Amino acid sequence: MQQVRIGMIGARGRGGIAKYWHKPDGRSVVVGAADIYPEKLEEFQQEINPDAFVTTDYRELIAREDIDAIAVTSPDFCHEEHAVAALKAGKHVFCEKPLAITVDGCDNILKAWQESGKKLMVGFNMRYMNMYRTMKEIVDSGVIGEIKAVWVRHFVGWGGYFYFHDWHANSANSTGLLLQKGSHDIDIIHWITGRYATKVSAFGGLDFYGGDKPNDLTCPACDERETCTEVSPGRLIECAFREEVNVEDNNMVIMELEGGIKASYLQCHFTPDYQRNYTFIGTEGRMENNELENKVYVWTRRSNNPRELSNRVYEIKEAKGSHGGADPNICKDFVDMILDGKMPVATPLAGRMSVAVGCAATESLRSGGGVVQVSPAPDAAVLQGSGN
């Protein structure tokens, strides 16, 4: 095979990454899409490929013999059904994060993957961002020694917009935002330390959003739209203070990783600013990023060796493409995995383990904050060909 023919399930929203795959003269081409909304399919045809096959029934898409691979970019609660069906239909699969909204859902996907003999990867595009690649290289170089502690703060400015004006805000669709949004960060903690979390304890609450507004109230129809600080600025228009909202907007998790590493992840959805702040503390130094400055700082301990002289500041290079240049890279990796057999940076097991931590932490915070064991990785046979 010289060119991968891709079909999208979920034509718009995150399905917009189709533009990085649609290269009719290159190594991949997007030839179809399924979506439950016909207007999204029309937009997809206009923007990506006017000749693409489109359908409101994803089963028609995955049944096509002229499609090699499926990208699942539908909402979280659809991933298990769509990914399992596509693998069973003999397609390679790119599945957006979180891999599924339950651990069982992830394990069903891993089982279907193992039985299919096809390729699977998960949409952990943070692993492809220059900032976090740099931080991983620094840790892997050993300059800050053996990692003992990780502290992550995630200020989800605009949280109200992206997570409280649509399906994300109902736990039936997402389990919770520790899993939905936090799956990226939990994964980066796993990836950079090279260790998975084994137990967690968490606290959280719905402290700002939610309320008693009717579930069918939208921002354009609301009497308070001129004064409400959370009025929608875009396409997601459900009221952030509606009754059905039942996911936490303020979360704190502590975890113990294999090897005794301690980590914390703090997430808040009503901060005015947006940034992720990561600190890794090792036996020989400390590393911290600053997303607003686009820099990574490394401080090394005083010692009797040259490290004493080597505190450093890394200026992270800008890259072209959405999510700091990560999206074109993750899309390329998917194609390289299929055509060249390249091991993906964003592995299925990693997808499963971040969901396992998100679920365990959600269970903890909804039952008083006690320690919850993380569901360990499934049978080794399921993980053949999968890495950390």
Ligand X SMILES: NC(=O)c1ccc[n+]([C@@H]2O[C@H](COP(=O)([O-])OP(=O)(O)OC[C@H]3O[C@@H](n4cnc5c(N)ncnc54)[C@H](O)[C@@H]3O)[C@@H](O)[C@H]2O)c1
Query: Which residues contact ligand X (rule: CB under 6 A)?
Result: 9-15, 34-37, 40, 58, 73-76, 78, 96-97, 123, 125, 323
**Residues linked to residue 281 through DSSP beta bridges, in sequence order:** 149, 286
Q: How far is the CB of 227 from ligand X (least distance, A)?
A: 27
Q: Strands, DSSP E only, in the chain?
A: 4-9, 28-34, 53-55, 69-72, 92-95, 120-122, 147-156, 197-205, 250-257, 262-268, 274-282, 285-290, 295-300, 312-315, 372-373
Of residues 225 and 235, the one with the C-beta less far from ligand X = 235
Q: Of 92 and 286, which has the nearer Cβ to ligand X?
A: 92
Q: Judge contact between 195 and 213, C-beta under 8 A.
A: no
For residue 249, give both structure tokens: 């907007």
CB 230 to ligand X: min, Å: 18
Report the nearest approach of ligand X to the CB of residue 305 (Å).
40
- How far apart CA 205 and CA 41 sit, in angstroms, is 37
Taking the complex as a whole, how short is the minimal distance between the CB of residue 313 and ligand X, in angstroms? 27
Work out how close the CB of 142 gets to ligand X at its nearest, in angstroms, rounded to a whole number: 30
| CB 54 within 8 Å of CB 80 | no
Instruction: Return the closest-CA partner of residue 119 out of 96, 86, 97.
Output: 86
CA quadruple 355, 138, 152, 160: dihedral positive or negative?
negative
Residue 260 C-beta: closest distance to ligand X, Å: 30
Nearer to ligand X, 180 or 201 (CB): 180
Separation CA 238–CA 244 (nearest Å)? 11
Bridge partners, 264 (sequence order): 151, 254
What minimum distance in Å lies between the beta carbon of 121 and ligand X?
12
Pick the closest to residue 269 from 180, 369, 355 (CA basis).
Answer: 180
In the complex with ligand X, the residue whose CB is nearer, 10 or 285, is: 10
Nearer to ligand X, 102 or 201 (CB): 102
Cβ distance to ligand X smaller for residue 301 or 323: 323
Let me know: does 89 contact 75? Beta carbons within 8 Å.
no
Contact 103, 356 (CB under 8 A): yes
Q: For ligand X, give the closer residue by CB, 161 or 270.
A: 161
- State the minimum distance, in angstroms, from the CB of residue 2 to ligand X: 28
Nearest residue (CB) to ligand X, 170 versus 198: 170
How many residues comprise the chain? 388
